[in-house]
Structure 1
Amino acid sequence: MRIEEPGIVDYRAAYALQERLAAAVAAGAAPETLLLLEHPPVYTTGRGGSAANILDPAIGAVETNRGGDVTYHGPGQLVGYPIIDLGRRGRDLHRYLRFLEEVLIRVAAGFGVEAWRVPGRTGIWTGEGKLASIGVGVRRWVTMHGFALNVSNDLLPFSRINPCGMAGCPVTSLESLCGGGVVLEDVRRRAAEEFRELVERMLPAVDCQPWAVSREGKG
């Protein structure tokens, strides 16, 4: 599993990067990859998202091929895009979503925050509101898109939408829950560790490809 940390990346550029990586993984020409990054401020909508969930008509949102409705990305939010081959990891999208939630629950726990699933909803919640959103896409059983964990980002932009299509949904962050002092790099490191450990336990590969384990991106 390769992990790349390219820093702050324009949403459309990250989308194009995912497309290239997904095609290469599907062709057996590249290793499975987890992208951990941030985006400049942007609203995005998933397949079937409703324009009614954008409360401010001045907002322009980027349309994507992920699941879910409208959400916000911005600096200080940790975004994870796993490009993995579910064709060799069980072909079970439900289990994949529960895996992503478990990674995020464990990351939050590492900073003293208790988070949990809500039946019928994808993502993770706390007593103060939703902490992370999940929206995925799958092409030829290779995954795209992924999760957005609020760490130290501005939460005000969420007030201009119904986050993930849920009216009145409170949104929180690790920084808010911890009273400050949360460093994004520490969260990113923890997410990489939890992902690498859990993926083979919850989504074991049925075969092994000869890719060297590597970590690329910022030091």
Structure 2
Amino acid sequence: MTEIQFKELGIVEYSQTYEAMMQLIESQPSFHSIWSLEHFPVFTIGISEKQIIEDKTKNPPFIKTDRGGKTTFHAPGQLVFYFILHMKKLPFPPTELTKKILETTSLALSTYDLKHEINAHDPGIFLNNEKVASIGMRIKKNYSYHGLSINIDTDLDTFNSIKPCGLDVQACNLKDYIDINVDNFKKDLLNKFQQMLDK
């Protein structure tokens, strides 16, 4: 069984976190690593984005990334999980990673008796056709990186100033649907991610 290291980073800058992921991958760790955090306000631009360009002078800045997907927004009040996983040590095919993470997140949400659905075409989780969770991954040197974001109580006005992930939908917050204890929800998610990787 592969060791899993969990890190709680608090509220951090996106660019610094990305550099930390790259440094970890360069070290070729033998273990899996899952980071939970929030970001200071930032738009990140995925490799599929064709309309929005990088502009670090704006507030919030627009930063180009190498993850899958289009443009999304991160800010305090949004839970982010980064998965730096050793692809050769997964208990399932690497091509199923995004699907497994979304299914595991859905499992955690199901404990709240919350009606939701996974959208496989535009990867994420939706409540009443509004997007509450987004995912974008990348693989490099046999490691995954980037990950999952879940809107708990974040700045939706700024988020919805763009089309979230290039979709004609609005983003939403979990708190608008359920009374949620963030620490307990995070703990449950991390436990379920561990089970996902232990199978």
Amino acid at match of 1:89: L
Amino acid at match of 1:114: K
User: Displacement of 1:143 after TM fit?
Assistant: 0.5
Q: In structure 1, what is the equivalent of residue 172 of structure 2?
A: 172
Per the TM alignment, residue 184 of structure 1 is displaced from its structure 2 partner at its CA by 2.2
Write the letter of the residue equivalent to 2:116.
A
Q: Does 1:16 align with 2:14?
A: no
- Superposed displacement of residue 154, structure 1: 2.0
Report the TM-score when normalising by structure 1: 0.80
Distance 1:64 1:91 in 2: 26
| Distance (whole Å) between structure 2 residues aligned to residue 45 and residue 100 of structure 1 | 21
- Aligned ranges for residues 98-177 of structure 1 at < 5 Å? 98-167=99-168, 169-177=169-177
1:200 shift after superposition: 2.2
Distance in 1 (CA, whole Å) between partners of 2:103 and 2:92 is: 18
Could you give the per-residue CA deviations for residues 75-120 of structure 1, whole angstroms, max 9, x where no partner exists?
1111000110112326834310111101210222233323221242
RMSD (Å) for aligned C-alpha atoms: 2.0
Higher relative contact order (CA 8 A, sep 6+): 1
SS at match of 2:99: helix
Please report how far the alpha carbon of residue 151 of structure 1 lies from its aligned counterpart in structure 2 after TM superposition: 1.1
Q: CA contact under 8 A between 1:37 and 1:78: conserved in structure 2? A: yes
Q: Is the 8 A contact 1:53 1:70 kept in 2?
A: no
Structure 1 residue ranges without an equivalent (≥5): 202-219
**Structure 2: stretches of 5+ with no match in the other structure:** none
Task: Percent identity, please.
Answer: 24
Compute the displacement of 1:53 (Å). 9.1
* Superimposed CA distance per residue, residues 126-145 of structure 1 (whole angstroms, 9 cap, x where no aligned partner): 22511100000110120000
Asked if structure 2 preserves the Cα contact closer than 8 Å seen for 1:34 and 1:81, the reply is yes
Contact map agreement 1:105 1:114 (CA 8 A) in 2: no
- Indicate which of 173, 176, 192 corresponds to 1:194: 192
Q: Which stretch of the first structure deviates more once superposed, 122-131 or 107-116?
A: 107-116
Normalized per residue, the structure richer in strand is: 2
CA–CA distance in structure 1, aligned partners of residues 5 and 98 of structure 2: 20
How far is the alpha carbon of 1:30 from its aligned partner? 4.9
Whole-angstrom distance in 2 between the partners of 1:119 and 1:41: 27
2:180 to 179, 182, 189: 182
- Higher mean C-alpha deviation, range 58-67 or range 33-42: 58-67
Query: Residues 90 and 197 of structure 2 are in contact (CA less than 8 Å); yes or no, is this contact kept in structure 1?
Result: no
When normalised by structure 2's length, the TM-score is 0.88
